[in-house]
Amino acid sequence: MAILTPTPSAPARAALADLGPLEQLRAGRLARRVPQLLVGLVLYGVSLALMVRSATGLAPWDVLHSGFIQHVPITLGQAVVLFSFVVLVAWVPLRERPGVATLANAVLVGLSADATMALLAEPGALAARVALMAGGIALCALSTALYIGAQFGRGPRDGLMTGLHRRTGLSIRAVRTGLEAAVVLIGIALGGAIGVGTIVFALTIGPLTQWMLPWCLVDLPEAGPEVAPEL
């Protein structure tokens, strides 16, 4: 997941705002923003499960999660939750400011992923597996645009990325690449699920989310300055 800037040709002129938790709740339009946030996070977990059941490889952070559960008696969704809170500890020295979405992301994505995997079996046909992979990537992009567009702040892993960007002066692209390379290498060492899906995800998730975000971004004209670093 990444924080992206709407393109100049986007159909909306809304901007991502840098708000604290109370400001996020006071910014209005809650009747749209809260359901959008919850739907986005639940669908993110569903997209993770689709990638798992495709058996074509997982997103970088999920390579780490899937490797970790080879050594401890927990589910993939529980690993997602656990690592979310581990990453939040790293926010402290980076002085990142959590939002409403931060804790919601940490819990709901993992729970949704486990629930979906309990209902969805791995198909045997290659065409079905490719369809699950493509659907998982597209749904991940949409769910990311929905939850970020709801203007309730960043998820744990996004916050780690932006925090390191601010502290090191490196570009968002460089920080994201470094983080994802590190977690993939650790995940591979632990026996994580890597494959062609991992590569396709890495190449397409940014552009897809960039394209979808303007349609999902809720306009909060009085919320404050834009904060949307380029990838």
- Average pLDDT (129-150) is 94
In this model, does residue 156 exceed pLDDT 50?
Answer: yes
Q: What per-residue confidence (pLDDT) applies to 82? A: 94
Asked whether residue 230 is domain-assigned, the answer is no
- What are 74-133's pLDDT values in tens digits? 999 999 999 999 999 988 888 888 888 888 999 999 999 999 999 999 898 999 999 999
What residues have CB less than 8 Å from 140, skipping those under 6 apart? Answer: 1, 44, 47, 48, 51, 59, 201, 205
**Three-class HEC string of 103-172:** HHHHHHHHHHHHHHHHHCCCCCCHHHHHHHHHHHHHHHHHHHHHHHHCCCCCCHHHHHHHHHHHHHCCCH
80: nearest Cα among 129, 115, 53: 115
Asked whether residue 91 is domain-assigned, the answer is yes
Gap between the terminal Cα atoms of the chain: 11
Asked whether residue 48 is domain-assigned, the answer is yes
In this model, does residue 68 exceed pLDDT 50?
Answer: yes
- What are 33-53's pLDDT values in tens digits? 999 999 999 999 999 999 999
How many C-beta neighbours within 10 Å does residue 89 have? 9
The partner residues of 226 in beta bridges, in order of sequence, read 17
Q: What per-residue confidence (pLDDT) applies to 7? A: 45
Cα–Cα dist 102/155, whole Å: 4
Residue 137 contacts residue 198 (beta carbons within 8 Å): no
In this model, does residue 6 exceed pLDDT 70?
Answer: no
Asked whether residue 3 is domain-assigned, the answer is no
- Average pLDDT (11-23) is 69
Asked whether residue 15 is domain-assigned, the answer is no
Asked whether residue 29 is domain-assigned, the answer is yes
CA distances from 50 to 60, 109, 111, 175, 203 (A): 15, 13, 14, 27, 18
Q: What percent of the chain has pLDDT above 70?
A: 89
Domain holding 141, by residue range, is 21-216
In this model, does residue 168 exceed pLDDT 50?
Answer: yes
Q: Of residues 18 and 54, which shows the higher confidence score?
A: 54
- The mean pLDDT value of the chain amounts to 86
217: nearest Cα among 36, 24, 30, 22: 36
Cα–Cα dist 69/61, whole Å: 13
Q: What per-residue confidence (pLDDT) applies to 67? A: 94
- Average pLDDT (52-63) is 94
Asked whether residue 96 is domain-assigned, the answer is yes
Q: How confident is the model at residue 230 (pLDDT cuts 50, 70, 90)?
A: very low
Query: Number of structural domains, the chain?
Result: 1
Asked whether residue 13 is domain-assigned, the answer is no
